[in-house]
Amino acid sequence: MNQYYCCKRFVSLLNPRLQAGIAYSYLRDEKLFLALSHPGYKMELNSKIDSLKSFLSEVRDIDERCKNFKASKIVIVNSKLRSVRDLEAKSIDSAIHYPERATGNFDINTDDEDLRAIFERIKVVISKNAK
């Protein structure tokens, strides 16, 4: 249970932008695994791997419960799971909905009956959406 707490404590030491990129973390065989909420964060975290390693020692110094928290390596992986922050953000409907501006009143200038039938169906769909 202390490992879980220390992993969370480690993530809490990072800046908010990096915290948002980490979906979850866990420790296995003295390797700290950071699972990312989006693959775009991987390059950013790889470039800051040295500073992440320095935060590992800071966790041991800052928190008494993490004195035995040892991770010799940091492994960054992409997660298939969604972060809780992502799930909360999706609950808000941010999609923009526009009203239908077309009326479906247009002339069909064709002698082909199949094409005329297709255009008539299009007119019906447009008129339904306009209501």
**pLDDT range class, residue 112, cuts 50, 70, 90:** very high
Residues 11 and 73 in one domain: yes
Q: Which domain holds residue 78?
A: 2-90
On the question of pLDDT at 34 being above 60, the answer is: yes
Give the model's pLDDT for residue 10.
Answer: 86
Q: Please report which residue ranges of 2-112 form alpha helices under DSSP H.
A: 2-13, 16-21, 41-47, 49-62, 84-90
pLDDT for 38-63, tens place per residue?
A: 888 888 888 888 888 888 888 888 88
Residues 11 and 56 in one domain: yes
Residue 111 to residues 26, 116, 117: CA-CA distances in angstroms? 69, 8, 11
pLDDT for 64-83, tens place per residue?
A: 888 888 888 888 888 876 65
Give the model's pLDDT for residue 127.
Answer: 86
Number of domains the chain is built from: 2
On the question of pLDDT at 109 being above 70, the answer is: yes
- SS3 percent helix, strand, coil of the chain, rounded to 5, is 50, 15, 35
Residues 69 and 123 in one domain: no
CATH code at position 39: 3.30.70
Residues 39 and 76 in one domain: yes
**pLDDT range class, residue 100, cuts 50, 70, 90:** confident
Residues 15 and 55 in one domain: yes
